[in-house]
Amino acid sequence: MSKLVSSLRTKSENYHMVIHALSGVTVAYFILSMFPYADRLELVIYGILGSLLPDVDHFIYYFFYGKNSQYAQIAKYFLLKKQLKNWIKFVKANHKFNTGIYSHNFLSLFLSLWLSWYFGLQRIHPVFAVFALSWSVHYLFDIFEDLLFFKRLNPNWYLKFNSVNPNLNLLNLKLPSLPISFPPGRSKTKTNVPKE
């Protein structure tokens, strides 16, 4: 069983965004079965958008409400230095430990599920239905990942943002050396980030 879990973790970490996008396509075809007259391409596009939208909050976190966190500073450093390979590596290895993302909580999940029901099951509008259901499936997959990686949910799902993450004890957090200090202004030591 541990080989299966290990394999699922690896695939989830390596294909996280692809899985989100494919889940949006799957939702689009599901909604198409309820609205056979709907435009298939339009539903697929909105399914992918709905499944990726919640992760836009990560960028808002980096540059606004979480900008002083160590995680955000490292992510911003790679983005601003155009070191996309390092950013991708860092995010793949560490995004599950970030408990400060406001959009990833049960209230957002319930809102998106309610909108899915309202627009889909009430047969009001297929585009809104696929968008909202894809948004919901995004959160459900992230919850599945928490359980897969940590066997429990991160505190952000319970509206406990930036709390001490009990999951940090379970996996090693892979932080690169950076030419900036953490917390800001407290350390004089500077190291270099490896080149791409």
Note whether 14 and 89 are within 8 A (CB): no
Question: 90-132 pLDDT, tens per residue?
Answer: 888 888 888 889 999 999 999 999 988 888 777 778 999 999 9
Q: CA 89, 137, 9 angle in degrees (round to 5)?
A: 40
Q: What residue ranges do the domains of the chain occupy?
A: 2-63+99-166
Whole-model pTM: value is 0.81
Do the beta carbons of residue 99 and residue 155 sit within 8 Å?
Answer: yes
Residue 53 near residue 17 (C-beta atoms within 8 A): no
Q: Which of 116-120, 156-160, 172-176, 185-189 has the lowest average pLDDT?
A: 185-189
Which of the four pLDDT bands, split at 50, 70 and 90, describes residue 196?
very low
Instruction: Read off the amino acid at residue 52.
Output: L
Q: Is the pLDDT assigned to residue 146 strictly greater than 80?
A: yes
In this structure, the dihedral spanned by the alpha carbons of residues 67, 68, 73 and 77, taken in order and rounded to 10 degrees, is 70
102 Cβ contact list (under 8 Å, min separation 6): 57, 61, 65, 156, 161
Segment 44-64 mean pLDDT: 95
